[in-house]
């Protein structure tokens, strides 16, 4: 009997103390994405930048931050062949601007960082690339965290013609497509900049406007001094030691409401439209145009939705135009060059408005007002969400696929290369659905409980599903839409990527 009791006690103890079943081994990234040779620019977990095929079987380190330095912002040129990024050690240390070009990586300039609090304005940005970046062509695997916020802002934007714009503590500068050297184009102190292309207009959130904004050269917050100790303004160059020197250039011509005003007027914080004209930037009040508004543009017009109102400006006239007011908020705007028209939602309707006309034509009508529109990166297909329906439609197609919403709260939408449409949504927990061509929703079980992000791999043949947190995920789940099979994949040490077009 004692022997039996001892065996029973040992068996129970073994069950209570049993280790959990080991997780399935993670597949190597290179094996899972072996069929994806597309070249990308990977962001490494330590801030380095690597050029590699997406399968990551081989990689070339293009740039690595120095001690205490960190990569703050990365943007790709519109042609996908060049990249620009800025790095700094601390908020008030010099910022370095780097370029990836045909002949390799070079430091294009070093300049004083812009810290809005120095001007009495509170503004913070993440000190590293995250999913909150204003422009992402590929993916980021981390979210911005409160601990990553920094006092220096990162103003960096490409124009369609290949010119690069950047902000610093003395104004705005530009590297022209045919130049190696940056030139100061404005003395406006700008905390954010959006290029509203194809219209030749910039939308800036400015702390100060005009020459009156220029900090005292002796304050120590400007360009690094040249060897003679004399600080100059204008063309941002680098001497052999990598320090910035320069020449004088023209300043701003501040304006308001279409009428000229003196450059000595008291500068004001606010949003401004900037029109490049030769070496000058003509500056106008932006009215109620906000960087967070929905907007669309052609070469001659910029439209935006301010709640229920549709407004516009012309590339040749900054006077805001009131184009109408709807009964419900406008949920979507896009300019379609093939139609030479603005497409937008109007209550239950999707309408087109020819650029030179005030007449709107109804393209199709939903059963209920359109509440929001989800856009798939790399695709023209959008998902229109009403109170009871989900409608997949592309401006290039006359076909719509409608499914019952069924109480789902949409989170993300992607369209894969084979046409598979995936919807992530909340309904008694996080769920993933296929929107079938017949208009039905079919759930695909996800092998992990906590997730919120859908990102397409280059080529659109696989989908990465993961939970973006403040740290880079150690693994991701990869869905093959063709077979609806999942693979748990080990992260090789990347925090994101951007597609990179090889230079022939």
CA-based nearest residue to 463, from 486, 441, 493, 442: 486
297/333 Cα distance (integer angstroms): 9
Res 2 pLDDT > 60:
no
Distance between alpha carbon 244 and the CA centroid of its chain, in Å? 29
In a domain, 306, yes or no: yes
CA-based nearest residue to 477, from 498, 451, 496: 451
In a domain, 310, yes or no: yes
- Residue with the larger pLDDT of the pair 462 and 212: 462
Q: Are 187 and 213 in contact (CB under 8 A)?
A: yes
263/254 Cα distance (integer angstroms): 6
H or E element that contains 41: strand 39-44
> At 121, is the pLDDT very low, low, confident or very high (cuts 50, 70, 90)?
confident
Average pLDDT rounded to a whole number, residues 146-159? 91
> What pLDDT is stored for residue 124 in this prediction?
86
Report the number of distinct structural domains present in the chain: 1
> What pLDDT is stored for residue 235 in this prediction?
37
- Rounded (5°) CA angle 185-202-175: 40
- SS3 (DSSP) at 218: helix
Average pLDDT rounded to a whole number, residues 59-63? 96
Sheet with 475-480: strands ordered across: 453-456, 463-466, 475-480, 485-490
Res 22 pLDDT > 50:
no
Res 439 pLDDT > 80:
yes
Q: Which of 252-261, 336-345, 437-446 has the highest mean pLDDT?
A: 336-345
286/202 Cα distance (integer angstroms): 10
> What pLDDT is stored for residue 240 in this prediction?
35
- List of long-range contacts for 228-234, beta carbons under 8 Å, 24+ apart: 233/170, 233/184, 234/183, 234/184
Q: Are 188 and 169 in contact (CB under 8 A)?
A: no
Average pLDDT rounded to a whole number, residues 382-408? 94
pLDDT digits (tens, 9 = 90+) for 201-222: 999 999 988 653 343 333 333 3
> What percent of the chain stands above pLDDT 70?
83
pLDDT digits (tens, 9 = 90+) for 324-365: 999 999 999 999 999 999 999 999 999 999 998 889 999 999
In a domain, 140, yes or no: no
> At 309, is the pLDDT very low, low, confident or very high (cuts 50, 70, 90)?
very high
Res 258 pLDDT > 70:
no
Least confident of 94-108, 243-257, 379-393, 480-494: 243-257
In a domain, 189, yes or no: no
> What pLDDT is stored for residue 504 in this prediction?
52
In a domain, 405, yes or no: no
Backbone torsions φ then ψ of 40, nearest 5 degrees: -135, 165
> At 397, is the pLDDT very low, low, confident or very high (cuts 50, 70, 90)?
confident
Average pLDDT rounded to a whole number, residues 291-307? 94
Res 15 pLDDT > 60:
no
Burial class (CB in 10 A: 0-12, 13-18, 19+), 173: buried
- SS3 (DSSP) at 313: strand
**What CATH number is given to the structural domain containing 361?**
2.40.10.500
DSSP 219: G
Mean of the per-residue pLDDT values of the chain: 84
In a domain, 112, yes or no: no
In a domain, 451, yes or no: no
> What pLDDT is stored for residue 11 in this prediction?
42
> What percent of the chain stands above pLDDT 90?
66
Res 8 pLDDT > 70:
no
235/226 Cα distance (integer angstroms): 13
- Rounded (5°) CA angle 137-142-414: 45
492/29 Cα distance (integer angstroms): 7
pTM score: 0.83
CA count, 13 A, side-chain hemisphere, 176: 9
> At 23, is the pLDDT very low, low, confident or very high (cuts 50, 70, 90)?
low
CA-based nearest residue to 479, from 496, 459, 458, 461: 461
Average pLDDT rounded to a whole number, residues 400-417? 94
H or E element that contains 208: strand 202-208
Strand duo 485-490 + 83-88: pairing: unpaired
DSSP 68: T
Across 266-369, the runs of DSSP E, i.e. the strands, are: 270-277, 280-285, 294-297, 301-306, 309-314, 317-325, 333-336, 341-346, 349-354, 361-365
Res 4 pLDDT > 60:
no
> What pLDDT is stored for residue 344 in this prediction?
97
Burial class (CB in 10 A: 0-12, 13-18, 19+), 419: exposed
Average pLDDT rounded to a whole number, residues 28-37? 96
Radius of gyration over every alpha carbon of the chain, rounded to an integer in angstroms? 26
In a domain, 296, yes or no: yes
> What pLDDT is stored for residue 291 in this prediction?
87
> What pLDDT is stored for residue 354 in this prediction?
96
The range of the structural domain enclosing residue 307 comes to 291-365
> What pLDDT is stored for residue 149 in this prediction?
86
């Amino acid at each position: 009997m004692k022997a039996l009791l001892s065996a029973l006690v040992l068996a129970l103890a073994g069950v209570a103390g049993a280790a959990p079943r080991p997780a399935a081994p993670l597949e190597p990234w290179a094996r899972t994405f072996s069929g994806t040779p597309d070249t990308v620019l990977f962001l490494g977990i330590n801030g380095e930048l690597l050029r590699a095929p997406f399968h990551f079987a081989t990689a070339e380190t293009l740039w690595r931050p120095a001690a205490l330095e960190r990569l703050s912002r990365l943007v790709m040129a519109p042609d996908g062949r060049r990249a620009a990024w800025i790095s700094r050690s601390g908020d008030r240390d010099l910022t370095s601007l780097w370029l990836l070009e045909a002949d390799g990586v070079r430091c294009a300039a070093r300049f004083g960082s812009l810290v809005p609090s120095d001007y009495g304005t509170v503004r913070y940005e993440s000190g590293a690339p995250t999913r909150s970046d204003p422009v992402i062509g590929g993916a980021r695997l981390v979210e911005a965290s409160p601990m990553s916020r920094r006092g220096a802002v990162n103003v960096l934007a490409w124009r369609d013609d290949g010119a690069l714009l950047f902000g610093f503590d003395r104004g705005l500068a530009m590297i022209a497509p045919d130049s190696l050297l940056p030139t100061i184009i404005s003395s406006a102190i700008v905390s954010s900049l959006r290029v509203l292309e194809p219209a030749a207009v910039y939308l800036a959130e400015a702390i100060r406007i005009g020459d009156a904004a220029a900090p005292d050269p002796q304050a120590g917050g400007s360009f690094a001094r040249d060897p003679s100790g004399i600080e100059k303004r204008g063309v941002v160059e680098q001497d052999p030691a990598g320090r910035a020197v320069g020449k004088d250039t023209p300043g701003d011509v501040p304006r308001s409401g279409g009428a000229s005003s003196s450059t000595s007027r008291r500068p004001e914080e606010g949003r401004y439209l900037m029109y490049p004209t030769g070496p000058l930037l003509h500056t106008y009040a932006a009215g109620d145009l906000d960087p967070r508004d929905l907007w669309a543009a052609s070469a001659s017009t910029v439209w935006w939705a301010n709640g229920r109102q549709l407004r516009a400006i012309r590339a040749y006239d900054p006077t805001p135009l009131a184009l109408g007011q709807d009964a419900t908020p406008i949920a979507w705007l896009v300019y379609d060059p093939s139609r030479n028209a603005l497409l937008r939602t109007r209550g239950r309707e999707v309408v087109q408005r020819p650029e030179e006309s005030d007449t709107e034509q109804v393209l199709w009508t939903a059963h209920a007002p359109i509440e929001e529109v989800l856009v798939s990166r790399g695709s023209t297909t959008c998902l229109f969400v009403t109170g009871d329906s989900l409608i997949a439609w592309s401006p290039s197609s006359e076909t719509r696929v409608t499914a019952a919403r069924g109480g789902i709260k949409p989170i993300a939408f992607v369209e894969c290369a084979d046409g598979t449409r995936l919807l992530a949504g909340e309904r008694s927990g996080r769920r993933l659905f296929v929107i079938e061509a017949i208009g039905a929703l079919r759930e695909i079980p996800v092998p992990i409980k906590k997730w919120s992000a859908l990102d397409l791999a280059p080529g659109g043949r696989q989908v990465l599903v993961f939970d973006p947190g403040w740290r880079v995920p150690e693994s991701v789940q990869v869905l093959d839409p063709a077979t609806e099979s999942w693979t748990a994949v080990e992260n090789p040490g990347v925090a994101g990527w951007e597609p990179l077009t090889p230079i022939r």
